[in-house]
Amino acid sequence: MQHVRRMTAERSLRPESEQVRLPVERYLFLKRRWQGVAEDGAEFEFDLEARLKDGGVIHQTEDADYVIVHQAEPVFRIPTPNGEMAALVGWKIGNLHFPIQIVDSFILVTPDPMVKTLLDRENWSYEEVSAVFQPLKLPPEAVVQTPPSTP
């Protein structure tokens, strides 16, 4: 079993025929310690110093690069033809405390029954598709800190 502490490269420079994929679910990108098996059966144990990135190289041999690949998952795809619609959809789903991914003309969200109820109630069109879901993440400096109140 190979031990991995960090990525060896952001991207593989080898042709796809010389890359071995290690497909992982979204939640594993948030974990520090876990184990996985590449498509060729090679086993890896992760004790990470920093988060991995989709497409990152985790191990290299003379013959191949081992690459982390974010797996697609079921999501609702909600068309948003304009910014006003995107803002409204994002706001209402945000009120349910679900993360979203904003793409050019649509929003992706996990297919939860509460989200489905909202979409049906608002009569918004949507479809369930399989996609790599990368929800928005706010950088620490974007979070507004409320100053403590003084008595």
Give the count of beta carbons closer than 10 Å to the beta carbon of residue 112: 13
Region 90-117: mean pLDDT is 94
Count of structural domains, the chain: 2
- For residues 25 and 81, membership in a common domain is answered with no
Torsion angle of the four alpha carbons 14, 131, 143, 149, in this order, in degrees rounded to the nearest 10: -150
- Lowest-pLDDT range, 48-57, 76-85, 139-148? 139-148
Q: Which CATH number covers residue 26?
A: 2.60.260.20
Residues 123 and 90 in one domain: yes
If asked whether residues 6 and 66 sit together in one domain, one would say yes
138: pLDDT strictly greater than 60: no
Is residue 49 included in any domain, yes or no? Answer: yes
Question: Given this model, what pLDDT does residue 142 score?
Answer: 43
> What confidence score (pLDDT) does residue 151 get?
53
Does residue 95 share a domain with residue 62?
Answer: no
Q: Which residues pair with 26 in a beta bridge?
A: none
Virtual CA dihedral for 41, 13, 33, 3, nearest 10 degrees?
60
- Tell me which residue range forms the domain holding 110: 73-131
Q: Does any domain span residue 148?
A: no
Examine the domain organization and report whether 61 and 92 are in the same domain: no
